[in-house]
Structure 1
Amino acid sequence: MKSNQLRWKVLVVIYLIVFTLIIVLAYNHALPEYLTKIDKAGHVFLYGLATFLGQMAGKWRIVKLRSLSLPLFPSVFIIFTVVEELCQSLSPNRTFDLGDLVASFTGIFIGYVLAEMNKPRAV
């Protein structure tokens, strides 16, 4: 494995830990109040960075569904995002928010575009 690719994978693991911690804190109503005031911007940033890192570490893998070729990480992450947002409606400390979902999708799109801009020509 090239050292550059290893760096991306290490960054993904670190980010996954941070992302999971944020979700756990949110479900336990333990996020600092100042973070809850920038909720939508946080979704754009967190989901965008996750998508960017996922694409870079995953080497822009695609999944083929009939005649469609879809980017693997963003596709799986969109499914995770919808499920996670729906699960919030079951939590006493969280609520489903369509605005959060739109902000998350916006972040995923931005992260995907930024990763595509960094895609080597040979991939």
Structure 2
Amino acid sequence: MEEIPPAKEKRSLTILALLYLALFLTILWLAYTDQLPAFLGDIPAHDKIAHVVLYAVAAYLGHRICRYHRFSLAGRQIPTFPALFTLFTVSEELGQFLAPSRSLDAIDLVASFAGIVLGWWLAERNRKSEA
């Protein structure tokens, strides 16, 4: 199997992350404007599954784009992108309290956190396989 040059891989990953950001923001906008497709309501736990998948992919791509960067807090190494994305997630979920078409849901928050942890873990696993 032919190895992809690092510059080309980084460029491809950046393009993929930007496309995913556009998708993520579109889904967020559709949710806030109550325009998500009606058929999703026919799928049991669709919103919980979506939270895990959407947040896992975002955390995976973000952690890789940030080159697995970490910062030190109270003697522990904290992954930068997952930490910042967690703060965004909490803010976004709390903001739903103010949106007429949305509702604050602790289980959604747990599903989002699970997705962030899964995405971080997959990115770390990918990093170890690259080494």
Scaled by the length of structure 1, what TM-score is found?
0.93
Aligned twin of 2:113: 105
Aligned twin of 1:8: 13
Aligned twin of 2:30: 25
Give 1:66 shift.
3.8
1:95 to 87, 92, 103: 103
> Runs (4+) of structure 1 moved beyond 4 Å?
none
Normalized per residue, which structure has more helix?
Answer: 2
Which has the greater radius of gyration?
2
Give 1:35 shift.
2.9
SS in 1 for 2:55: helix
Aligned twin of 1:65: 73
Distance in 1 between residues matched to 2:72 and 2:14, nearest whole Å: 24
Stretch deviating more after TM superposition (17-26 or 54-63): 54-63
Give 1:40 shift.
0.2
CA RMSD of aligned residues (A): 1.3
Asked if 1:46 is matched to 2:51, the reply is: no
Asked if 1:77 is matched to 2:95, the reply is: no
SS in 2 for 1:100: helix
1:14-68 per-residue CA deviation (whole Å, 9 max, x = no partner) reads 0000000001110000000233540000000000000011112111011222412
The number of equivalent residue pairs is: 121
Stretch deviating more after TM superposition (57-66 or 10-19): 57-66
User: Where does the alignment leave 5 or more consecutive residues of structure 2 unmatched?
Assistant: 1-5
User: Where does the alignment leave 5 or more consecutive residues of structure 1 unmatched?
Assistant: none
SS in 2 for 1:93: coil
Scaled by the length of structure 2, what TM-score is found?
0.87
The percent identity for this pair of structures is 40
